[in-house]
A and B are shown apart, each in its own frame.
Chain A
Amino acid sequence: MWTTPGRLRAKGIVGMNRRNIRYIGRYNSRSLYPLVDDKLKTKLLAEQHGIATPALIGTIATQFGIKQLHRILSGHQGFVIKPAKGSGGKGILIVNEVSGDRYLKPSGQSLSIDDVERHVSNILSGLYSLGGSPDVAVIEALINFDERFDKYTYEGVPDIRVIVFKGYPVMAMVRLSTAASDGKANLHQGAVGVGIDIATGKALRGVQYDRAIAHHPDTEHELASLHISGWETLLTLAASCYEVTGLGYLGTDMVLDRELGPMLLELNARPGLAIQMANGEGLRPRLDLIEKQPDELDTQQRVAFCQQHFARSQPDIPGLSKTTASI
């Protein structure tokens, strides 16, 4: 049930206190937070730097603007409504099918336009934002994610989280939604986290509720066979977010679009520590190594450095190399 601080230290696990003081406090300047705490700002900033993000359908900033919602949504077969300043995946409404005047969530639950309007109203009044401050609702196009991901996820879009430290992609995982997580990709809500080898983009091991699992709980598919194509492109995209925001300790959330490739979903200045569980490895040795590296390397060099130093020769899941299915 319990382990000792010594064992955690030996494994290089970073705890909340250390993360907050040593990494977030030291490398993330407070003045840069608004760039990532406001998803709309992040989106516009990313576009300026030529980083792909899901298409913006519209924004609603005022309560009377909600009357426009129906008009904005018309013609779109699927969309995502999210609060610009939401955290932890709160307040994200995914509608992947519109039939008549009914809006269908991935779970099959059907909503009326009134339900959707109420959700937007809640977002605007600050229900999901930090500190309850008034917010803006951002409506984005649905991602056309690859069917080959279907086997690994239940309802929602799998997203790829890469921790970028001083511009180096140090650790990565894929977050797969489950029935328990209601289509959301947040690990504490019950999504599955799969650690990804920085060198190859192949799965290392899976966890749900911080406990190791070998198969997706809903689709029963083997997690070990997960392999992300275009891995290096994705790492480069993640690493370039350092230059875009200036944040030294950054969580980048990305998705793979069928046609458009890796897209930036959002950035997080306080990324969680569950990625260590998914990788079965602590962040500490990698962060220590990066702290010793010079600052002036460019994105390509940084990605190459990480792929070389953080490669995992021994996969945790037996039989991984034989049954890999490329996505």
Chain B
Amino acid sequence: MSRLPFYLVVALLFLVGIGMSVHRHIEFDVPWLPGEQRQVWEIEAQVNFIADGGPASVDLALPSTQEGYRVLTEHTASPGYGLHFSDDSRGRRAQWAARDVEGSQQLFYSAQVMVAPQATSIEQESLKTLPSVAWEPPYDTAAAEVIQRAWAQSADDISFTRELIQNVNADRLGENTRLLLTQFDRVPLLVKLLNQAGVVAQEVSALPLEHGRRRQPLTTWIQVYHDNSRTLFDPKSGAMGKPDNLLLWENNGQSVLDVEGGSRSRVSFSMLSRNQPAKAAVRSQQAGSETLLNFSIHSLPLEEQALFQTILLLPVGALMVVLLRVLIGVKTSGTFMPVLIALAFIQTSLLTGVIGFLLVVAVGLVIRNYLSYLNLLLVARVSAVIITVIAIIAVFSVLAYRFGLNAGLQITFFPMIILAWTIERMSILWEEEGPKEVLIQGGGSLLTAVLAYLAMNNAIIRYITFNFIGVQLILMGLILMLGNYTGYRLLELRRFKPATED
């Protein structure tokens, strides 16, 4: 019998599990650890224009997830306008339209953007084609000379761009440059010169993020395509690279705002920055994207999420039981009873839980001992034990409350039917094997429950199981591997020792 399929399944579980987790980490910026804070920018774009009276349409460029930033949520406020989002070769855009509007108009678009160092642009890095450039005389010769000069003083596209920007800068203005600047604005001129020289470049609009700023305009940058990557240049200083706090708003060489049926249109931006726990940032980002790979508990309503937070912890408890039984050889009363007790401990806190558990089981054993004299059928007897357990819990709760121990009230979180069966099983064990075995198995159960509790109550483990669904597959793989372990258990090293002594 070949074990190959088994190892393939385990390898597949690990690969898919790790893959899904890494995918969630990179693609959705879910941090590995819970404590991390993420900076989130609230950016509001306000479009103002005077409508001519009649149909009006507004076309605004929108930011998309890019290097360093991830768009979480977006909202618009535009009463009376129809709204349409488009995402095509022109990039993401919002299109508002209204049939009959007149006078001053205000449209709002707001986005939550998270600072995410690992984020990358989701659009494909298609190389832009070089637009054909035509100059009218006498600008053609002036342009050729400006290019010639910068070309001579540079080695490649990047240094050429830098050189060209510096040449067009005010304090080193040459004759030819001055001529060109009478006809063209600085940034379109630079782009045109670059294209003329065979460098793929375009004008992009970006927003410098600064906390608390209002009515900010977009700034214009030059983006150069070189070696399949994009490089951003500051047209004023010639500085290369994107500053940390710069959010690209429009990077497809399109206009930022087009308004038809209106005049004096402009867009201005206000922004706020705040820090929020990564967890909350993750949660708000889930609302938007609903793909299969984004299969996440976070897309459920909050109430169900809370339920799943507990359910997703159960495999951790199960793994603990498997570890203790297969590798250590701990005896427990009821295989997964300790996991359920551990769940109760999560509700009650450990000390209260352990004391409550010991009290209920001890008193239950005494009463069960009396029940065994009544000669009852099994089901009836266990039912009687269940009622006894409820009575014990009720009495302890009332007593604890009278003595002012509010912690005692939490004893009601114990799974009563499981406790009843535990008492029944331990009682039989006591009759058949004596109190020693009861101590061994009861102690083993309690030890397993405490360890399972410590694992399941660990903030990091709770966070990881809840946020990375792939971890469940990894746990599954681990448990399958442990299920294939044929080596000795730790306690067997003691048990079989006499056999090695001859």
Q: Which residues of A contact B (CB under 8 A)?
A: 1-5, 7-8, 10-11, 13, 15-18, 21-22, 26, 63, 90, 114, 118, 121-122, 125-127, 132, 188-189, 207, 210-212, 276-277, 280-282, 316
Q: How far is the CB of B346 from chain A (nearest CB, A)?
A: 28
How many angstroms from the CA of A136 to the CA of B92 in the assembled complex?
A: 75
How many angstroms from the CA of A97 to the CA of B379 in the assembled complex?
A: 32
How many angstroms from the CA of A316 to the CA of B494 in the assembled complex?
A: 22
5 tightest A-B CB contacts, nearest first:
A125-B378, A18-B486, A15-B488, A3-B497, A118-B375
**Contact at B487–A63, with CB atoms within 8 Å?**
no
Q: Which residues of A contact B487 (CB under 8 A)?
A: 5, 15, 17-18
A-B contacts, 28 of them at CB < 8 A, read A2-B493, A2-B494, A3-B496, A3-B497, A4-B493, A5-B487, A5-B493, A8-B499, A11-B496, A11-B499, A13-B488, A13-B496, A13-B499, A15-B486, A16-B329, A16-B489, A17-B487, A17-B488, A17-B489, A21-B486, A114-B375, A118-B375, A121-B375, A122-B378, A132-B378, A210-B496, A210-B498, A282-B499
**Contact at A8–B492, with CB atoms within 8 Å?**
yes
* Residue of chain B at shortest CB distance from A118: B375
Q: Given A8-B500, A126-B378, are A26 and B489 neighbors across the interface (CB < 8 Å)?
A: no
* Residue of chain A at shortest CB distance from B373: A118
**Contact at A280–B502, with CB atoms within 8 Å?**
yes
**Chain B 447-502 interface residues, beta-carbon cutoff 8 Å to A:** 483-489, 492-502
How many angstroms from the CA of A26 to the CA of B379 in the assembled complex?
A: 36
* Residue of chain B at shortest CB distance from A7: B500
Q: Is residue B432 within 8 Å, beta carbon to beta carbon, of the partner chain?
A: yes
Q: Is residue B326 within 8 Å, beta carbon to beta carbon, of the partner chain?
A: yes
Q: Is residue B292 within 8 Å, beta carbon to beta carbon, of the partner chain?
A: no
Q: Which residues of A contact B433 (CB under 8 A)?
A: 188-189
**Chain B 265-280 interface residues, beta-carbon cutoff 8 Å to A:** none
How many angstroms from the CA of A280 to the CA of B498 in the assembled complex?
A: 8
Query: Interface size class for chain B?
Result: 20 to 34
Q: Is residue B428 within 8 Å, beta carbon to beta carbon, of the partner chain?
A: yes
Q: Which residues of A contact B495 (CB under 8 A)?
A: 210
How many angstroms from the CA of A283 to the CA of B379 in the assembled complex?
A: 42
Q: Is residue B377 within 8 Å, beta carbon to beta carbon, of the partner chain?
A: yes
Q: Is residue B1 within 8 Å, beta carbon to beta carbon, of the partner chain?
A: yes
Query: Which residue of B379, B428, B489, B500 is within 8 Å of A125 (Cβ)?
Result: B379
**Contact at A3–B1, with CB atoms within 8 Å?**
no
Q: Which residues of B contact A8 (CB under 8 A)?
A: 488, 492-493, 496, 499-500
Q: Given A2-B493, A26-B1, A210-B498, are A17 and B326 neighbors across the interface (CB < 8 Å)?
A: yes
How many angstroms from the CA of A1 to the CA of B487 in the assembled complex?
A: 19
Query: Which residue of A1, A26, A126, A189 is within 8 Å of B494 (Cβ)?
Result: A1
Q: Which residues of B contact A10 (CB under 8 A)?
A: 500
**Contact at B499–A280, with CB atoms within 8 Å?**
yes
Q: Which residues of A contact B1 (CB under 8 A)?
A: 26
How many angstroms from the CA of A122 to the CA of B378 in the assembled complex?
A: 7
**Contact at B377–A63, with CB atoms within 8 Å?**
yes
Q: How far is the CB of A7 from chain B (nearest CB, A)?
A: 5
Q: Which residues of B contact A207 (CB under 8 A)?
A: 498
**Contact at A5–B377, with CB atoms within 8 Å?**
no
**Contact at A3–B378, with CB atoms within 8 Å?**
no
Q: How far is the CB of A170 from chain B (nearest CB, A)?
A: 16
Q: Which residues of B contact A125 (CB under 8 A)?
A: 377-379
Which of A114, A132, A207 has its CB near the most chain B CB atoms (within 10 A)?
A132
Which of A2, A15, A90 has its CB near the most chain B CB atoms (within 10 A)?
A15
Query: Which residue of A3, A63, A118, A276 is within 8 Å of B493 (Cβ)?
Result: A3
How many angstroms from the CA of A121 to the CA of B498 in the assembled complex?
A: 41
How many angstroms from the CA of A13 to the CA of B485 in the assembled complex?
A: 15
* Residue of chain A at shortest CB distance from B484: A21
**Chain B 1-46 interface residues, beta-carbon cutoff 8 Å to A:** 1
Q: Which residues of A contact B432 (CB under 8 A)?
A: 90
How many angstroms from the CA of A121 to the CA of B494 in the assembled complex?
A: 40
Q: Which residues of A contact B492 (CB under 8 A)?
A: 8, 13, 15-16
Q: How far is the CB of A201 from chain B (nearest CB, A)?
A: 21
How many angstroms from the CA of A118 to the CA of B501 in the assembled complex?
A: 46
Q: Which residues of A contact B377 (CB under 8 A)?
A: 63, 121, 125
* Residue of chain A at shortest CB distance from B380: A125
**Contact at B497–A127, with CB atoms within 8 Å?**
no
Q: How far is the CB of A152 from chain B (nearest CB, A)?
A: 21
How many angstroms from the CA of A281 to the CA of B499 in the assembled complex?
A: 7
**Contact at A11–B500, with CB atoms within 8 Å?**
yes
* Residue of chain A at shortest CB distance from B437: A188
How many angstroms from the CA of A211 to the CA of B483 in the assembled complex?
A: 30
How many angstroms from the CA of A117 to the CA of B329 in the assembled complex?
A: 38
Q: Which residues of B contact A90 (CB under 8 A)?
A: 432
Q: How far is the CB of A183 from chain B (nearest CB, A)?
A: 13
How many angstroms from the CA of A21 to the CA of B480 in the assembled complex?
A: 12
How many angstroms from the CA of A33 to the CA of B303 in the assembled complex?
A: 45
Q: Which residues of B contact A282 (CB under 8 A)?
A: 499
Q: Which residues of B contact A122 (CB under 8 A)?
A: 378
* Residue of chain B at shortest CB distance from A277: B499
Q: Which residues of A contact B484 (CB under 8 A)?
A: 21
* Residue of chain A at shortest CB distance from B1: A26
Q: Which residues of A contact B497 (CB under 8 A)?
A: 1-3
Q: How far is the CB of B107 from chain A (nearest CB, A)?
A: 68
Query: Which residue of B485, B488, B496 is within 8 Å of A277 (Cβ)?
Result: B496
How many angstroms from the CA of A10 to the CA of B1 in the assembled complex?
A: 26
Q: How far is the CB of B376 from chain A (nearest CB, A)?
A: 9
How many angstroms from the CA of A121 to the CA of B379 in the assembled complex?
A: 12
B 113-127 to A, binary, CB cutoff 8 A, 1 in contact else 0: 000000000000000
**Contact at A22–B378, with CB atoms within 8 Å?**
no
* Residue of chain B at shortest CB distance from A126: B378
Q: How far is the CB of B480 from chain A (nearest CB, A)?
A: 12
**Contact at A316–B496, with CB atoms within 8 Å?**
no
Q: Which residues of A contact B483 (CB under 8 A)?
A: 21
How many angstroms from the CA of A308 to the CA of B488 in the assembled complex?
A: 30
How many angstroms from the CA of A126 to the CA of B496 in the assembled complex?
A: 33
Q: How far is the CB of A173 from chain B (nearest CB, A)?
A: 13
* Residue of chain A at shortest CB distance from B496: A13
Q: Given A3-B500, A127-B378, are A17 and B493 neighbors across the interface (CB < 8 Å)?
A: no
Query: Which residue of A5, A188, A316 is within 8 Å of B488 (Cβ)?
Result: A5
Q: Which residues of B contact A277 (CB under 8 A)?
A: 496, 498-499
B 364-390 to A, binary, CB cutoff 8 A, 1 in contact else 0: 000000000001011100000000000
